[in-house]
Structure 1
Amino acid sequence: MLWSLMMMAFHVKQKPIFLIIIQLINSFSTITNSQSTLCRTSCGSIPIQYPFGIDDGCGSPYYRYILACSDSQKLELRTPSGRYLVHNITYYDPHIVVTDPFMWNCQDGDNYRPTRPFSLDTSKRFKLSAQNEYLFFNCSEDKVIVKPKPIFCEHFPERCDSSCDSASYLCRHLPVCSFAMSGSSCCSYYPKATESLRLMLQYCTSYTSVYWRNVGAPQPYDQLPEYGIRIDFDVPVTTRCLQCQDQSKSGGGTCGFDTQTQSFLCLCKEGNFTTHCKDYDIARHNRNVHVIAGTVTGISAFGALGIGAGIWYIKKVRAKAPVTCGVQNNENRLF
């Protein structure tokens, strides 16, 4: 950028100095104003809202580096056990549904593939939903307690022991493909922790996850089983974030954070602030903080220095250049 300023100075004879200064200021404004536009609001058809972000510095720092948007616009969730395709995100009933390609599916039938247990980083305010139900296939009855459970346990699994229910509704009515398995045993199990999933898979051939999706119909038809893993998440709500998103304060901004200090920032079209948009008097940040996405870190300060150096250089050249009414010859040319 500084080099471009110097090159513009060589053409000082072509334009008045005030026009050059205006161009420099406009270029600098474009750079600083572009900070808030780096927060993408969707990946494919899935909306990205607070507390999540797919660009660094967007959303809440509690969920930093959790979501990734591929070049093909596929949203993925990062966990300690791998990356999983996100099926949808619901914000009013905060949860994410992901699919695990290693889990058993209807097309597998009795052909079980090598699988691995799904795990979560609980420090990220995630937890496996109680609406998940895991089906394990061909378990060793010498190692796993496989027996029918009472109906009470289907509705309140946390109040029952850790046995695997061989008479569960889902084992008898597999979603989409009830007759996909012919000679395999099945039992339903709700893990209290990721470690219990890992232990179960040591003694079972494979497993799959089914979650009960709320469809809004009258009970008992208000939920339908679908394949996938439901993950519940918390939405960190702060006063500053609410003020930042307030539409009455200059149209509202986007909640984000400084990529180095992880302190709160309100990302606005005008720049970054510590409270809300248009709050010019309280700790304005659009010229001196590390901007979001980390791709243009330090540009604001460098841009201000470049403008100052450019103006000084132009003035110096202007003072020494002879007046020739815009005519350039071998005596007054700059190079």
Structure 2
Amino acid sequence: MGHFPSSRPTPQNNRPPKFPHLLRLIIRAVVISSISPLISSQSSLCRTSCGGILINYPFGVDDGCGSPYYRYLLVCSESDSLELRTPSGRYLVRSISYSDPHIVVTDPFMWNCQDGDRFRPTRPFSLDTSTHLKLSHQNDYIFFNCSDDRVIVEPRPIFCDRFPDQCDSSCDSSSYLCRHLPDCASAIKGSSCCSYYPKATASLRMMLEYCATYTSVYWRNVGASPPFDQVAEYGIRVDFDIPVTRRCLTCEDRAKGGGTCGFDSGSEEFLCLCEKENVTTYCKDRRGRHIRRQQGGNTGTIAGTLSAVSIAGAVGIGAGIWYLKKVRSKAPVACGVQSNENRLF
């Protein structure tokens, strides 16, 4: 009688174990399903305008965009209006200039021409001193109906000649703006007016304690020949710095992919936001290939939070990596930033 091959299965110790292979497939599926929402380009999530105002570096209205120095300062409201957030409130942004770095905001609580001599209570405008924003010296502050007992209201040239040591503390009643209020020169007939530049928010607050109200006027450059190169307009000019670094310039270099400068919203470390994914250097190499790894060979981090990764998925990934490390004696994969290359910029 002929002999037939045995139909018994191959002993388990003679075939490669299936479990690690299946586990790798499971881990891969979990990783792809949980991280795929984060791999989408962060640069495509960075809005470049709000209410017709351009949003460029160093600003961003979406978290992870721009410089972390200005994180949470600009807000694009549901009505598509750009607002500046400060300790004293949220203010509508009228314009942003990046060539002469400044923001112009409006304060609805300040006096305006329609108020006339009906002075209403207001609040002082303030900025967080820890930010890279500061009140511009191109602002003039006009105060109305100040107490003569509490505030030095005098024509500045005459007063400064008489009392040079108190010149900075006087409110100039001979101010040009008091006699030529923009758009409504005769709006406050019969009321006192003086111009004073506060040295700090505290001095502005003290002035408001003893004056009926105030308004802010800034001098807008119109590009004409002096002395007609500036025009007075209502608003508050806020100056800002643009942090320029070699890393950001390299990221934005069109020859290297033309990325967008941003940061990791968890660590606030620098990221170059690209079309395909986000890296820590620049988007494309000399051959036009997309950079997928940061310098040093570690996987580039992705802007955004880890909220898109489920807790169950994270636990599964952790357990799988632990098992693979035990079965296969290999060095662990280094994820994230492991050097100083991503320090704050």
TM-score, structure 2 normalization? 0.73
Q: Which residue of 1 aligns with 2:64?
A: 57
- Alignment partner of 1:116 is 2:123: yes
- Rounded Cα–Cα distance in structure 1 between residues aligned with 2:58 and 2:303: 18
Which one of the candidate residues 261, 275, 280 is aligned to 1:269? 275
Change (3 A) 1:206 1:240: same
Q: Which residue of 1 aligns with 2:230?
A: 223
- Rounded Cα–Cα distance in structure 2 between residues aligned with 1:283 and 1:273: 9
- Rounded Cα–Cα distance in structure 2 between residues aligned with 1:283 and 1:171: 60
- Rounded Cα–Cα distance in structure 2 between residues aligned with 1:184 and 1:146: 13
Q: Please tell me whether the aligned partners of residues 288 and 301 of structure 1 are also in contact (alpha carbons under 8 angstroms).
A: no
Which one of the candidate residues 282, 291, 301 is aligned to 2:294? 282
Q: Which residue of 1 aligns with 2:246?
A: 239
Q: Please tell me whether the aligned partners of residues 28 and 303 of structure 1 are also in contact (alpha carbons under 8 angstroms).
A: no
Higher relative CO (Cα under 8 Å, sequence separation at least 6) belongs to 1
**What per-residue deviation string (whole Å, max 9, x for no partner) do you get for residues 194-226 of structure 1?**
111001001000000000000000000000000
Q: Which residue of 2 aligns with 1:145?
A: 152
More displaced 10-residue stretch of structure 1: 144-153 or 50-59: 144-153
1:98 aligned counterpart, secondary structure: strand
1:205 aligned counterpart, secondary structure: strand
- Rounded Cα–Cα distance in structure 2 between residues aligned with 1:118 and 1:224: 22
- Rounded Cα–Cα distance in structure 2 between residues aligned with 1:271 and 1:285: 16
Q: Please tell me whether the aligned partners of residues 255 and 265 of structure 1 are also in contact (alpha carbons under 8 angstroms).
A: yes
> Segments of 4+ in structure 1 off by > 3 A?
24-31, 283-290, 295-307
Q: Please tell me whether the aligned partners of residues 40 and 48 of structure 1 are also in contact (alpha carbons under 8 angstroms).
A: yes
- Alignment partner of 1:256 is 2:268: no
TM-score, structure 1 normalization? 0.76
Q: Which residue of 2 aligns with 1:45?
A: 52
- Rounded Cα–Cα distance in structure 2 between residues aligned with 1:32 and 1:286: 16
Letter of the 2:292 partner, please give it.
Y
Gaps of 5+ in 1: 1-20, 154-158, 308-335
Change (3 A) 1:232 1:160: farther
Q: Which residue of 1 aligns with 2:320?
A: none
Gaps of 5+ in 2: 1-27, 161-165, 285-290, 318-345
Deviation of the 1:113 alpha carbon: 1.1
Q: Which residue of 2 aligns with 1:95?
A: 102
Deviation of the 1:29 alpha carbon: 6.3
Deviation of the 1:283 alpha carbon: 5.0
Q: Please tell me whether the aligned partners of residues 110 and 181 of structure 1 are also in contact (alpha carbons under 8 angstroms).
A: yes
Q: Report the RMSD for the aligned CA atoms in angstroms.
A: 3.1
Deviation of the 1:37 alpha carbon: 1.1
**What per-residue deviation string (whole Å, max 9, x for no partner) do you get for residues 287-324 of structure 1?**
774533xx7744599999999xxxxxxxxxxxxxxxxx
Report how many residues are paired.
278
Q: Please tell me whether the aligned partners of residues 253 and 266 of structure 1 are also in contact (alpha carbons under 8 angstroms).
A: yes
Which one of the candidate residues 207, 210, 215 is aligned to 1:208? 215
Q: Please tell me whether the aligned partners of residues 289 and 298 of structure 1 are also in contact (alpha carbons under 8 angstroms).
A: no
Letter of the 1:185 partner, please give it.
S
- Rounded Cα–Cα distance in structure 2 between residues aligned with 1:232 and 1:169: 24
